[in-house]
Structure 1
Amino acid sequence: MPSKKHKPEEIIGKLREVEIVLAQGASTAEACRRIGVSEQTYYRWRKEYGGLKTDQARRMKDLEKENQRLRRAISDLTLDKLILQEAARGNF
């Protein structure tokens, strides 16, 4: 089965669907088959998105992207600073 990138909103919807199926007495494996993911994926999603509302998940993903962008900018600036320090010392 080819992998598919699920959006946070879809993941939360699928987690809610699993909760309903589990409440009806089905096994976790059966619930995962119904939503089309492996049990490992279900547990990973539950760990990351369990208890979140759709808007909270969207905001969390936006903040993670912003954090990644800022970390990249800091690393670039640090590298530039080190290069300039080396050039100022004349060690090139």
Structure 2
Amino acid sequence: MQRHSADAIAAALRDGERLEREGRTVAQVAAELGISPSTYRSWRRRYGQGNDGDVARIKSLERENAALRRILVDKELENEALRELSRGRW
């Protein structure tokens, strides 16, 4: 799966908006941008009409959120293991 930079996504959304204003369909816009229509729709839904900095900030927050979720899961597993040990099940 190819990852696009925040700058590339922001540029694609700007170009896409321009092309849509010119009367092109989503499928035509996506083809011209070299992405699938579902990717284009997903980017529009996720990043909306924000500016370029918003895209980078959202991507950064999504990465941070994923890291925090992994930490939380690790801690929950550790706590469960400690509970099992305290019950004498190991």
TM-score (norm 1): 0.82
Larger radius of gyration: 1
SS in 2 for 1:5: coil
Measure how far apart 1:11 and its partner are: 1.1
- Kindly provide the CA deviation profile for residues 45-83 of structure 1, in whole angstroms up to 9, marking residues without a partner as x: 111112121111111111111111111111111111111
Gaps of 5+ in 1: none
**Share of identical aligned residues, percent?**
33
Q: Structure 2: how far apart are the matches of 1:65 and 1:11? A: 16
The residue matched to 1:91 in structure 2 has which SS?
coil
Give me the CA root mean square deviation: 1.6
- Provide TM-score, normalisation by structure 2: 0.84
More displaced stretch, 18-27 vs 58-67? 18-27
In the TM superposition, residue 10 of structure 1 has moved relative to its aligned partner by: 0.8
What are structure 2's unaligned runs of at least 5 residues?
none
Number of equivalences = 90
